[in-house]
Structure 1
């Protein structure tokens, strides 16, 4: 999984400016680190969410199609553009899980966990995927060589094929994504994301923490609940 921060215009200071307009009007608030920390703590604790909407993060993400589809279930405050198999020939890049990825589901839907598989299960998974990828790519190339339209030929490619997309969101929407797509002992409401989706979300969170450290700190402090 590859996550690249393309542009960013969200800061802790902007959160505070947006919040203080209700009492200061057009007056420009002075920066005060201690007061700003206290304000962001108050906003997060009491779930005053709108000040966290004044900013933008844009990421370019490369991930398997099944991760892209899961990511795009997040719609509020999110904007997307994805590469199109109708207009360009796709690349032969496919996802194969490492031997550290848990393979066996234990329990039932809504109350299940995963455990590591045996070497034989991992071998079967890897061999099956590689065989399917090679076969489907050969069929894809065969159809393209016969002049069949890309939008038709792409139908044989599996969801393990990598795709590239851009996503833009404000900090509030980003926190909502992280609350659902990461697994943390700090969370008030536990989430159980798919491993591959969390691999993407963890990289996004690292950028969020670096660029809005106080907001991230208070997000974590108050149980990773979106304000």
Structure 2
């Protein structure tokens, strides 16, 4: 993990000078505040600020629904009801602001979640650090033969070594040329132009602020086993933070989103036929080969 000396000094000062507050405090999240969690080889995630807790979700729901929630006996039951029935607004009352350091190609996946506020490190004004994501040997995979956007078997031996050599050499060469382009004694090119020569595995940083409802949507997709490893490890780190911040909401999220499955009408029909003892195959199921494979994964 690579925090700059200035970032570390800021964190140390903030942690050394706690401030009294009248706002809601979540003890579990206080333990994460201003601490950088290492991710990948040079990346990190750290909590900069947060708002709300489990009680804030219930407070908002009871204002919205009034007498309609009086049959729910406790906050945890109410939160589970809200999650189960896809009520999103109460979860929007909680917010989280993160400082994230991540490879550019991961950032381009991440930014597709357009429901957050983002401010990214600017390579127009500043010079990017000489830090690149180089995957560990166990994460160098061949292309999947069944999924056009997935990984297949792990490469080994000379093949893996050759991939690593190419990645390291190309990264170093691109950064050397970047430095030459921006060096006043060299070309003196504008930084906004010189940056276009940098590879997608160089690290960038941003502040990312999102409400809990949209954060859960992000985590449902990116912490899933099918997500790309390099973004999944960031999502998994955030999951640990969120589980300490809003434990009741996170448990409901695990049960009704992460641990649940969605089936099409055809899948439900096939499952009912199977429960009746009927032999169901792809040919008589009315599904494509991919849909049938996904259905088999669900019921396995």
TM-score, scaled relative to structure 1 = 0.87
Q: Secondary structure at the match of 1:2?
A: strand
Partner residue in 1 for 2:52: 10
Q: Secondary structure at the match of 1:90?
A: coil
CA displacement at 1:108 relative to structure 2: 3.6
Per-residue CA deviations over 1:33-77 (Å, capped at 9, x if unaligned) read x6001100111111111110001100111111000111000012x
Partner residue in 2 for 1:136: 174
Greater relative contact order: 1 or 2 (C-alpha under 8 angstroms, separation 6 or more)? 1
Partner residue in 1 for 2:20: none
Larger Rg: 2
Q: Secondary structure at the match of 1:223?
A: helix
Tell me the distance in 2 between the aligned counterparts of 1:123 and 1:110. 24
Partner residue in 2 for 1:188: none
CA displacement at 1:216 relative to structure 2: 0.4
CA displacement at 1:113 relative to structure 2: 4.6
1:90–1:111 Cα change, 3 Å: closer
Partner residue in 1 for 2:197: 156
Q: Are the aligned partners of 2:144 and 2:151 in contact in 1 as well (CA < 8 Å)? A: yes
Partner residue in 2 for 1:189: none
Give the gaps of 5 or more residues in structure 1: 185-191
Structure 1 or 2: more helix by fraction = 2
Give the gaps of 5 or more residues in structure 2: 1-42, 261-300
CA displacement at 1:161 relative to structure 2: 0.4
Q: Secondary structure at the match of 1:85?
A: coil
CA displacement at 1:221 relative to structure 2: 1.1
1:111–1:2 Cα change, 3 Å: closer
CA displacement at 1:117 relative to structure 2: 1.3
Residue 176, structure 1, aligned to residue 220, structure 2? no
Cα-Cα RMSD: 2.0
Q: How does 1:1-227 map to 2 (within 5 A)?
A: 1-24=43-66, 35-76=74-115, 78-109=116-147, 113-145=151-183, 146-183=187-224, 192-224=226-258
Q: Secondary structure at the match of 2:143?
A: strand
